[in-house]
Structure 1
């Protein structure tokens, strides 16, 4: 999951004092992105429906706004009032949302936002967080590069792709300095309970002895959420000409069996948890049994590579939810489908 650090090819040498506007700044990715920009010296304004107007404990200023209800004029005023030089779109609806909600948040909002940025004098750089699920299914063993023809089959993947395409059109046709980061599966501290890692962490923190899950057969490209935040900062610092209109994969570059993810979390907790893979709990969220991103472009354009290991990411996730830290690691007892070689299948 981790790789050797790569010196960043930075065009803007510093973010010190730079106004940065983060849409969806109270969400899972957004909180870490705000922290990363704050650590880089930027003046951060987070915007979300659940934010309370004012200055937060972390020094970021918060603005309350329902982004899906905001029109182009309101979005343009928001950027202009903040004096934003960098605009990050980390907003969006995730798997639990309905089709209409996902279309509004993942596609329609992004189109209005890209159009609004084009009208702002001294346009800010726009960094949009897309998703690896925009690519759709891939054959096992494939490393998905940015030139992979997108063919998502889920509503989430299709609406995220539509939003990313709006940013790319604005870059090509309206002169917006827009970049799309296609992010794989983020994990680490603060992972929501709607995610596999977040659900397992909550279970372990609650101290229950049995963990019942859908069959764990898939492989996922897992990247620490803090590494994702670092990638966003790197995109804001990269030479504008190099990243305008670019799609850049952000992931670990590895395909991890999700069964291994679950087993590692249980081992880190030190609790003898019984894992039941229940076929009745069928997988409904994803169209991809295999996910592994080629992250070579991120190294070349952003000077970015993931730094944190999967073990570190999961350890910090468990610590964040208050799961007990063991003196010695325990083991999981598996019940459910395994592949013919006796190994975990994704």
Structure 2
């Protein structure tokens, strides 16, 4: 972060969806910097910010049904300086559920913040690379590229982004949208490709320890290439967006990714190699008829560097090891990187700004 950013220590930060995959990581990151963190979510989670983390509270609140007036009151009670919206629906949800979690919830949050008394509360909305659809065909997709999402998830996330931007233009909301690449790290839900593969490897490692032959890994066609970003890098970008001056970030859409397209078949093979297991991969010959997606995703992250002083620092291998360590038995940690093999070296060396 840059010198003009306000200090994180002492801020009151509400993380919506705070017990979910990303919400847990973000809550821990803010708490580590001395913020007073309020995790707000519909349900408790079996795994959240460690109990030893000071300055963290959890409030159970159904954000899908809570009226904006009630949310305004909750945020006023905790004295929120920052609201991070990590709530929403992605995997294993139909179009109606995605609209409720990715559009209506965001509209409710914007209305609540527009009515909040006192100084504007910074809203950091987590968007998605899937809002772009196909994006730039050969190079990296910048924020000025016209979004043409092709999936229900991408379409509903774009509508959420549009709700935030309308709020900044028309209602005085201090909001910024971070369009995230595909996030990877410990705790990725099993509904995602990364979580599915990691879950299979964890099960296979336990089977191998019992002397049983691990089952083959059956997957859909792995022809796509995806931009990936580590949970730690996402947390750093969110902290920077939460503390940057309003004149720099309010009303902005900012890409957060590594700026490279990683082939998914190579990623799966790398996960298996790091697990130390021998697992055959069986790809389906055709994708399900219901599946619509794009072949390549790659984000231009130069705006994040310019406005936030942010850059990705963690390699793909770093992310994969964290993910595998969370599912493999303790006695079988992920392997190190053998000499001569570099899978996704850091996009840029250096110390986090």
The answer to whether the superposition gives a TM-score over 0.5 is yes
Find out whether 1:220 has 2:216 as its counterpart: no
d(CA) in 2 for partners of 1:286 and 1:314? 26
**How far is the alpha carbon of 1:286 from its aligned partner?**
5.0
Q: How far 1:56 moved relative to its partner?
A: 6.5
1:115-264, aligned counterparts within 5 Å?
A: 115-121=111-117, 122-138=119-135, 140-207=137-204, 208-264=214-270
Deviation at 1:227, TM superposition (A): 0.9
**Does 1:291 find its partner at 2:288?**
no
Quick check: 1:211–1:274 contact (8 Å CA) kept in 2?
A: yes
Q: How does 1:33-52 map to 2 (within 5 A)?
A: 33-51=26-44
Aligned residue for 1:90?
A: 86
Higher mean alpha-carbon deviation, 260-269 vs 317-326, is at 317-326
CA contact (8 A) 1:181 1:248 kept: yes
In 1, distance between residues paired with 2:10 and 2:93? 36
Instruction: Report the CA distance between 1:79 and its aligned residue.
Output: 1.0
* CA distances 1:153-180 after superposition (whole Å, capped 9, x unpaired): 2111111101110100111111111000
Which of 274, 277, 282 lines up with 1:276 in the alignment? 282
Say which SS state the counterpart of residue 316 (structure 1) adopts: helix
- TM-aligned CA distance change 1:253 to 1:283, over 3 Å: farther
Partner of 2:68: 72
Unmatched runs of 5 consecutive residues or more in structure 2: 205-213, 339-353
How far apart are residue 328 of structure 1 and its match?
A: 8.3
| Equivalent in 303, 306, 319 of residue 313 of structure 1 | 319
- Structure with the bigger RCO (C-alpha within 8 Å, sep 6+) is 1
What is the Cα deviation at residue 51 of structure 1? 2.7
Q: How does 1:46-65 map to 2 (within 5 A)?
A: 46-51=39-44, 57=51, 58-59=53-54, 60-65=56-61
| Aligned equivalent of 2:98 | 102
Deviations 1:36-85 (A, max 9, x none): 10111100000001138xx9613310000110101110111111111000
Task: Measure how far apart 1:120 and its partner are.
Answer: 0.7
SS at match of 1:198: helix
Q: CA deviation at 1:139?
A: 5.1
Q: Normalising to structure 2: TM-score of the pair?
A: 0.87
Q: Deviation digits for residues 157-215 of structure 1, max 9, x if unmatched?
A: 11110111010011111111100000010001111111111111111111133111111
- The structure-2 alpha-carbon separation of the partners of 1:80 and 1:274, relative to structure 1 and needing over 3 Å to count, comes to same
TM-score (norm 1): 0.89
Query: Contact 1:76/1:117 (CA < 8 Å) preserved in 2?
Result: yes
Cα distance in 2 between the residues matched to 1:127 and 1:91? 11
Q: Which runs of 4+ in 1 moved over 4 A?
A: 283-286, 326-330
Q: Distance in 2 between matches of 1:84 and 1:328?
A: 42
Q: Tell me: CA distance 1:56–1:82, structure 2 relative to 1, closer, same or farther (3 Å).
A: farther
Deviations 1:299-339 (A, max 9, x none): 01111111110001101110011253367889xxxxxxxxx
Q: Deviations over 1:268-302 (max 9, x none)?
A: 01111101111255385552211000000000111
> What CA distance in whole angstroms lies between the structure 2 residues aligned with 1:93 and 1:295?
25
1:20 has 2:13 as partner: yes
Distance of aligned partners of 1:83 and 1:29 in 2 relative to their CA distance in 1, 3 Å threshold: same
> Tell me, which stretches of 5 or more residues in structure 1 are unaligned?
1-7, 331-346
Whole-Å Cα distance in 1 between the matches of residues 337 and 7 of structure 2? 43
